[in-house]
């Protein structure tokens, strides 16, 4: 049973009490949700994502403005704190990006270069073009490889035993000394000692280069000194050699200084060493500008040899010509000094190839020949002489000449008697100045006779001239003795005609051997089976025998071209050689038969002038023909 007061309160304040109860309940609920930090955190956690999303949707800008500074600063912080992680995470992506960018830049550079190249013309460019064609590489690539950027940054000279720096030269001229050179020197020395110990190269091998990124350290070493050159870019082929030369130069000049080096900056000669080194580095930079091509001794040597040849060759040939002309002049003098030889056809030339003096022609007698030979031997003792001289008596030795000349003499004798008769008649008829005429006649006849005796090759003109002389002698007297002389003149005319006939015949006979030779040549050739074998050796020998006799009979200045031919099978070069070979075989046989080599000229015409008509067998094309050579050929 509740207390009456309670009952009363309930009745009076029922609604208020309910309200109070409800309020308390809500307060408890609120307390549970936001009453303390964990509860509040829990409550917010449940809704915050939703809240952010909704406010992001409805009030995006304001939210962004509110959050941006926070996010940015925290990101910055995050990046700073976990740089390595970021780098690791980003490396594959950035790496690819960088590679792509570099590739792009490279391609762009190539294109630019190509464009530039298309615009300009230079020898280098043509060389690169050719090389590009040959190798299939791009022209720009070749040029880029040819002159890769290369720079020498600095040079260290290090005292090896102590690892102390003797001198450092900044090749670029910027005094930027990022790391203490003394430390670099010491470290380098230590590294070299370490490498040597670690790898223990029994043959005394040394560390030659150190590479880091684009930079490279080139090392030259001796027991006392290390030269280290820090470079950037791809070193040209000759750089190490040039550096080595520089190093040797330093060693040569400064070995004493280096051996006595004690780390004292005030050491004697230190300044001199420094300036010398500066000069050497300048030289090195100069060499770099020329891409370390160096002095090309090869080109110089080739030019020198060519120059020497260019001087010596014409000099020698000029000397040869001069010598030949001196010899020829002297020989001409010898011939001119021989009175007996005046008027005889004698030609001479000095053959530079065989180094022989060749004298051709006709002499009055074998005595004059001996005389000439003796005189030539006296005046030109060292010179080989080849005399192709015929003396008249000798020439008459051959049957043709002897017979003709004997009959000519008879003829002349008869003519003389006719003239004597005519003269006698004239004398009796004109009775004046007979002796005069007689003298002139006998003189003219004497001249004619002498000429005939001396010269086998008597021409019609000579005879005609002699007769003309006679005629004129007679004609001079004609007006005085015209009538009386008419009959005599008829007799003389008759005699003249007879003489003329005889002379024509004589001339024809003298020419006959040549005509026969020509006729023979026109009708004969030597055929070969294969190579240099004659098809019918016995017939060939017979033919060559005839030919040799004819050549020997022909005047000595007549020369024969011996022409070899081949069929058209095989290469032109081989056929040419074979055709000349065939000609030479024929010439050898003719020489064996006593024909002078000087009169035979070998010629090869391979498959020219084919004898095979209409595609028939070419067998007959393998042959040797003969031709009369042109005079002076």
Partner 1 sequence: MSSSRSHSRVNRDASSAVSKKVCVIGDFAVGKTSLVRRHVLNEFSPHYQATLGVNIYKFSDSIDLPDGESVLLNEIIWDIESGDPASGKLSTYLQGAAGAVIVGDIARENPLPSMIERARLFQEVCPGRPVVFAFNKVDLISNADDGEDGHALEEEFSAVAMRTSAAEGTAVQDLFLHLGRRILEIGA
Interface positions with partner 1 (CB under 8 A): 159-165, 179-180, 182-187, 190-191, 193-194, 196-197, 262-266
Beta bridge partners of 211: 216
* CB nearer partner 1, residue 132 or residue 191: 191
Q: What are the structure tokens assigned to 561, written together?
A: 């071209």
Provide the terminal-to-terminal Cα distance of the chain, rounded to the nearest Å. 171
Q: Which of residues 188 and 521 has its CB atom nearest to partner 1 in the complex?
A: 188
The CB-of-271 to partner 1 minimum distance in angstroms stands at: 13
Burial of 556 (0-12, 13-18, 19+ CB in 10 A): middle
CB nearer partner 1, residue 162 or residue 532: 162
Cα–Cα dist 464/56, whole Å: 142
Specify the residue for token string 């007959």. 620
C-alpha count within 13 angstroms, C-beta hemisphere, residue 585: 22
Dig out the tokens for 1 from the structure. 């049973």
Task: Show the tokens assigned to 495.
Answer: 């005699």
* Strand ranges of the sheet holding 150-159, from the earlier edge strand across to the other edge: 164-170, 150-159, 225-233, 215-221, 209-212
**Which tokens sit at 64?**
């962004």
The helix/strand/coil state of 518 is helix
| Shortest distance (Å) from residue 213 CB to partner 1 | 18
**Residue 134: CB minimum distance to partner 1, A:** 47
Minimum distance, C-beta of residue 231 to partner 1, in the bound complex (Å): 22
Please report how many Cα atoms fall inside a 13 Å half-sphere around the Cα of residue 428, on the Cβ side: 6
- In the sheet that holds 356-363, the strands lie side by side as 346-351, 356-363, 384-391
Judged by beta carbon, residue 166 or residue 585, the one nearer partner 1 is 166
Is the Cβ of residue 168 or residue 589 nearer to partner 1 in the bound state? 168
Q: Least Å distance between CB 122 and partner 1? A: 49
For partner 1, the closer of residues 77 and 201 by Cβ is: 201
Q: Cβ(33)–Cβ(46) under 8 Å? A: no
CA 626 to chain centre: 40
By beta-carbon proximity to partner 1, the closer residue of 54 and 260 is: 260
Q: CB nearer to partner 1: give 136 or 223.
A: 223
Nearest-angstrom CA–CA distance, 211 and 228: 12
Residue 270 C-beta: closest distance to partner 1, Å: 10
Q: How many Cα neighbours within 13 Å face the side chain of 42?
A: 10
Sign of the CA dihedral with 231 first, then 237, 238, and 243 last: positive
Output 196 or 238, the one with its CB closest to partner 1. 196
Min dist. Cβ of residue 164 to partner 1 (A): 5
**Smallest distance, Å, CB 262 to partner 1?**
4
| Residue 426 buriedness (CB in 10 A; 0-12 / 13-18 / 19+) | buried
Closest to partner 1 by CB, 50 or 262: 262
CB of 189 vs partner 1, minimal distance in Å: 8
Tell me the HSE value of 81 on the side-chain side, using a 13 A CA sphere: 6
Task: Read off φ and ψ for residue 432, nearest 5 degrees.
Answer: -145, 145
Q: Which residue has the tokens 């190490």?
A: 240
Q: In the bound complex, what is the minimum distance in angstroms from residue 269's beta carbon to partner 1?
A: 15
């Amino acid at each position: 049973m509740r207390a009456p007061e309670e009952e009363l309160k309930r009745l009076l304040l029922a609604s208020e009490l309910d309200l109070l109860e409800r309020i308390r309940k809500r307060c408890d609920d609120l307390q549970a949700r936001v009453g303390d930090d964990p509860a509040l955190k829990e409550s917010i956690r449940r809704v915050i994502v939703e809240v952010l999303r909704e406010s992001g949707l409805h009030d995006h800008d304001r939210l962004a403005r509110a959050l941006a500074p926070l996010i940015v600063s925290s990101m910055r912080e995050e990046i700073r704190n976990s740089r390595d992680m970021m780098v690791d995470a980003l490396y594959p992506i950035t790496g690819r990006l960088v590679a792509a960018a570099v590739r792009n830049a490279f391609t762009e550079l190539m294109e630019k270069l190509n464009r530039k190249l298309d615009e300009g013309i230079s020898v280098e460019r043509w060389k690169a073009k050719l090389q590009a064609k040959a190798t299939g590489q791009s022209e720009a690539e070749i040029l880029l490889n040819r002159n890769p950027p290369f720079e020498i940054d600095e040079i260290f000279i290090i005292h090896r035993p102590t690892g102390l720096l003797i001198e450092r030269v900044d090749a670029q001229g910027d005094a930027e000394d990022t790391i203490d050179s003394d430390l670099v020197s010491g470290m380098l020395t230590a590294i070299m000692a370490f490498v040597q110990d670690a790898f223990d190269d029994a043959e005394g091998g040394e560390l030659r280069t150190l590479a880091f990124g684009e930079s490279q350290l080139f090392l030259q070493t001796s027991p006392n000194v290390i030269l280290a050159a820090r470079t950037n870019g791809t070193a040209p082929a000759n750089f190490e050699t040039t550096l080595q030369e520089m190093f040797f130069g330093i060693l040569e000049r400064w070995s004493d200084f280096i051996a006595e080096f004690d780390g004292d900056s005030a050491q004697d000669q230190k300044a001199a060493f420094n300036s010398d080194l500066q000069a050497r580095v300048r030289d090195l930079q100069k060499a770099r500008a020329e891409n370390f091509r160096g002095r090309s001794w090869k080109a110089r040597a080739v030019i020198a040899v060519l120059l020497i040849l260019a001087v010596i060759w014409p000099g020698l040939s000029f000397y040869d010509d001069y010598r030949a002309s001196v010899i020829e002049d002297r020989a001409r003098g010898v011939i001119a000094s021989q009175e007996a030889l005046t008027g005889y056809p004698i030609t001479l030339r000095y053959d530079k190839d065989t180094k022989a003096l060749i004298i051709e022609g006709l002499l009055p007698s074998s005595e004059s020949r001996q005389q000439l030979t003796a005189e030539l031997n006296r005046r030109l003792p060292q010179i080989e002489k080849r005399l192709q001289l015929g003396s008249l008596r000798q020439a008459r030795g051959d049957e043709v000449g002897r017979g003709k000349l004997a009959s000519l003499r008879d003829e002349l004798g008869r003519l003389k008697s006719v003239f004597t008769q005519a003269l006698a008649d004239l004398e009796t008829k004109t009775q004046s100045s007979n002796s005069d005429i007689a003298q002139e006649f006998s003189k003219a006849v004497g001249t004619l006779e002498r000429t005939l005796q001396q010269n086998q090759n008597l021409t019609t003109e000579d005879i005609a001239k002699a007769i003309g002389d006679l005629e004129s002698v007679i004609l001079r007297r004609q007006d005085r003795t015209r009538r009386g002389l008419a009959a005599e003149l008829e007799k003389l005319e008759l005699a003249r005609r007879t003489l003329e006939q005889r002379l024509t015949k004589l001339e024809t006979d003298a020419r006959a051997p040549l005509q026969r030779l020509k006729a023979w040549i026109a009708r004969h050739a030597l055929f070969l089976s294969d190579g240099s074998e004659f098809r019918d050796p016995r017939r060939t020998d017979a033919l060559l025998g005839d030919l040799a006799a004819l050549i020997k009979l022909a005047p000595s200045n007549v020369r024969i071209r011996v022409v070899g031919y081949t069929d058209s099978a095989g290469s032109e070069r081989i056929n040419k050689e074979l055709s000349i070979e065939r000609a030479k075989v024929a010439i050898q046989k003719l020489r064996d038969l006593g024909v002078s080599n000087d009169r035979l000229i070998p010629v090869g015409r391979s498959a020219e002038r084919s004898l095979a008509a209409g595609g028939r067998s070419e067998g007959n094309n393998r042959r040797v023909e003969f031709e009369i050579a042109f005079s002076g050929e």
